[in-house]
């Protein structure tokens, strides 16, 4: 493969769940690093607003509606990305449902919805985009896991924690499968960060207690997660694959 092929691919990224929260910070960071970014989300209007903010002429940022629970949706987004720019070399599987629930009364519908969205998104994202990247001989995939998948969860439901644990395993599976073809697959496991979803999930009267339990004494800065994604997405990160990068303020040590 010519070096120019890798260079062109390395300038295109896809971020799922990019309309707000952590995804918007990740999309902003990749865009500031010079990537052309496809922002995908089930909320197309919100994704379009961010895309227009980043690139008013749509030359370096565009939005696409994307239900990450379904494989075909990844096939469609890949086709759109190729039609618009090129085969992407960076995929950030960020989209997820975060939901608190009582473990012993958790219903089947809620369990299936959270698992199918959170796990399907990573598995089929790695499968569909990973194959395209492997054909080109270069790629960087970053999966957003969670502290909940490592410690069994605290404020979130058992279905959410289970899904994030599965993401850690899927990351290892695809890292091993794709390593010899120039594609790295890594995960990031954030603890509680200063995001709307945290404040929506944790009751206001309990948030101070959650923060007090964090060894560093504060919520994480979501912009730093964008920095970590930027590092793992870089061309120099070829020797890092199958890893989980913990960003949790000292809540989980290993």
pLDDT tens sequence across 34-43: 999 999 999 9
Residue spans of the domains in the chain: they are 3-247
User: What would the mean pLDDT of 159-173 be, rounded to a whole number?
Assistant: 97
d(CA 80, CA 96): 22
Confidence at residue 1, expressed as pLDDT on a 0 to 100 scale: 39
User: What would the mean pLDDT of 234-250 be, rounded to a whole number?
Assistant: 97
pLDDT tens sequence across 115-153: 999 999 999 999 999 999 999 999 999 999 999 999 998
Average pLDDT score over the chain: 94
The closest of 163, 142, 147, 246 to 198, measured between CA atoms, is 147
Confidence at residue 51, expressed as pLDDT on a 0 to 100 scale: 98
Confidence at residue 8, expressed as pLDDT on a 0 to 100 scale: 61
With tokens 């096939």, the residue in question is: 75
pLDDT tens sequence across 179-210: 999 999 999 999 999 998 888 877 788 888 98
Is residue 105's pLDDT more than 50? Answer: yes
4-13, 115-124, 207-216: least confident range: 4-13
H runs (alpha helix) in the chain = 3-9, 21-32, 44-54, 71-84, 108-136, 148-151, 158-178, 196-201, 204-212, 222-232
Confidence at residue 3, expressed as pLDDT on a 0 to 100 scale: 40
Confidence at residue 4, expressed as pLDDT on a 0 to 100 scale: 39
Confidence at residue 6, expressed as pLDDT on a 0 to 100 scale: 58
Question: What percentage of the chain reaches a pLDDT higher than 90?
Answer: 85
Confidence at residue 206, expressed as pLDDT on a 0 to 100 scale: 82
Confidence at residue 20, expressed as pLDDT on a 0 to 100 scale: 87
Instruction: Specify the CATH superfamily of domain 3-247.
Output: NAD(P)-binding Rossmann-like Domain (3.40.50.720)
Assess whether 252 carries a catalytic annotation.
Answer: no
187 φ/ψ angles, rounded to the nearest 5 degrees: -125, 155
Catalytic member of 35, 138, 160, 252: 160
Is residue 2's pLDDT more than 90? Answer: no
């Amino acid at each position: 493969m010519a070096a120019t092929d890798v260079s062109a691919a390395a300038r295109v990224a896809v971020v799922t769940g990019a309309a707000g929260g952590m995804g918007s910070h990740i999309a902003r960071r990749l865009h500031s690093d010079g990537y052309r970014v496809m922002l995908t989300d089930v909320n197309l209007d919100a994704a379009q607003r961010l895309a227009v903010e980043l690139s008013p002429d749509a030359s370096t940022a565009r939005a696409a509606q994307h239900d990450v629970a379904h494989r075909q949706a990844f096939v469609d987004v890949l086709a759109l990305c190729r039609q618009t720019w090129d085969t992407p070399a960076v995929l950030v599987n960020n989209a997820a449902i975060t939901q608190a629930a009582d473990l012993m009364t958790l219903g089947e519908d809620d369990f299936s919805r959270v698992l199918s969205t959170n796990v399907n998104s990573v598995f089929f994202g790695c499968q569909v985009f990973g194959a395209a990247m492997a054909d080109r001989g270069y790629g960087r995939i970053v999966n957003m896991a969670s502290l909940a998948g490592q410690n069994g969860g605290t404020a979130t439901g058992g279905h959410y924690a289970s899904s994030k644990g599965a993401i850690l395993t899927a990351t290892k599976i695809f890292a091993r499968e794709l390593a010899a073809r120039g594609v790295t697959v890594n995960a990031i496991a954030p603890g509680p960060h200063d995001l709307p979803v945290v404040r929506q999930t944790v009751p206001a009267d309990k948030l101070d207690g959650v923060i007090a339990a964090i060894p560093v004494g504060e919520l994480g800065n979501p912009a730093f997660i964008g920095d970590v994604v930027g590092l793992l997405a870089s061309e120099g990160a070829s020797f890092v694959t199958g890893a989980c990068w913990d960003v949790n303020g000292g809540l989980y040590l290993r």
